[in-house]
Amino acid sequence: MYDIEDPDPYCSTDEFSEWVDKIVKRAEETRELRCELLLQEPDHAELKKAAVRVFESKQDSTGVVKSKEMKALLESIGYGMTMTELHYLLRMFDATDGFNMLPDIEFEQSKFLWLVGETQLMKMRFEHIKPEDWVMNYETMIQSQELQKEAGLEGTDEWPHLKQGGAFATKPKGAPEYTGPSNFTAEQRALLKAEHEREKAEREALKPEWYKRKMKKQEEKELSKSKVKEKK
C-alpha cells in the first residue's frame, strides 16, 4: 500500500474519504495474496501441509469440496470454530445469504488454502481483541444489513433503524433485541435464540485458561476501582 500517498493534513473530508476508499480497495484486492504469504512463513508450514492433506482426502472427482464441509475440514486441522466465526469466513467467499450459510458453494484447493489463511488471521486477531466483542460487532453488522435490506435500502448508506450511521452503529437504547427476519415463525426465532446461546457456550469453552485468568484479573481490577469510587 506504500504506493498510495498519504492525504494532505489539511485535505477536505471528500479527499480523506477518497484516500480511505483506496486503502480499503487495496486491502480487498490483496486478501488472497496476504493469506498465501502467511502460509508460506516457516511458522505455518505444517499448517499448510495439513490443509493440503485434508483437502485432498475430501475432494471429489472434480477437485472441489462443498462449503457445507468447511467447518469439519477446519476443525480437522486444529481450529475450534463457532458458527458465527464460520459465517464470517464463508461470507468472504459469497457462501452466505443474510444469517444463512449456503451449503453448496464449491471450494477448490487454492480457495480452501485462502480460507485457512483467513482463519489463521482471524484467530490471531483474537490475541488482541475480545472474541465476544468481535462477535457482537459482527452480528450487529449482519443484523443491520438485513434490516436495511428489509427496508428496501440495500447497498445504500441509509440505516433507518439506527440513530447513528453505518453498519456497526450502536443499537438505540431501549430497542428490542433482534430475533430474526420479519417472516420468521416463533419456532424459528426460538431456534435462532438457542443457536445464539449455544455459540456463547462454545466461545466460552474455546477460551484458553490463560485468557480466562487474564479476564478475571481485569474484572477484579475494575471491581476494585468501582469500590474505591463508591467510598469517595
Q: Is the pLDDT of residue 142 over 90?
A: no
Quick one: 120 and 38 in the same domain? yes
Number of domains in the chain: 2
pLDDT score of 153: 74
Is the overall model pTM greater than 0.75, yes or no? Answer: no
Is residue 162 in some structural domain? no
Output the CA–CA distances (angstroms, integers) from residue 79 to 12, 13, 126, 188, 196, in the order listed.
45, 42, 13, 29, 20
Mean pLDDT of 198-210: 70
Instruction: Give residue 222's pLDDT.
Output: 79
Residues 172-181: what's their mean pLDDT? 52
Q: What is the pLDDT of residue 2?
A: 60
* Residue 53 clears pLDDT 80, i.e. is over it: yes
- Same domain? For 22 and 99 the reply is yes
Comparing CA positions, the residue from 66, 3, 68, 64 lying closest to residue 29 is 3
**Is residue 183 in some structural domain?**
no
Same domain, 205 and 119: no
**Predicted local confidence at residue 46, as pLDDT:** 95
In a domain? residue 73: yes
The gap between the terminal CA atoms of the chain, to the nearest Å, is: 51
Pick the more confident residue, 200 or 132: 132
Considering the domain architecture, whether residues 118 and 23 belong to the same structural domain is answered as yes
Three-state SS at 97: strand
- Give the helix, strand, coil percentages of the chain, each rounded to 5: 60, 5, 35
Asked if residue 181 belongs to a domain, the reply is no
What is the chain's mean pLDDT, rounded? 82
Same domain, 27 and 109: yes
- Point out the domain boundary residue: 98, 125, 152: 125
CB-based contact 64:100 (threshold 8 Å): no
The model's confidence at residue 175, banded by pLDDT at 50, 70 and 90, is very low
Q: What is the pLDDT of residue 96?
A: 93
Q: Is residue 120 over pLDDT 90?
A: yes
DSSP codes of every residue in 70-89? HHHHHHHTT----HHHHHHH
Choice between 117 and 213, residue whose per-residue pLDDT is larger = 117
Give the DSSP letter of residue 108: E
Per-residue model confidence (pLDDT) at position 232: 62
- Domain enclosing residue 69, as ranges: 13-125
Strands, E assignment, the chain: 64-66, 96-97, 100-101, 106-108
Mean pLDDT over residues 25-45, rounded? 91
What is the band of 168 on the pLDDT scale with cuts at 50, 70, 90? very low
Lowest mean pLDDT, pick from 49-58, 93-102, 160-169: 160-169
The residue from 99, 125, 151 where one domain ends is: 125
Q: What is the CATH number of the domain that holds 23?
A: 1.10.238.10
What is the torsional sign of CA 94, 100, 103, 109? positive
Last residue of a domain, one of 125, 160, 176: 125
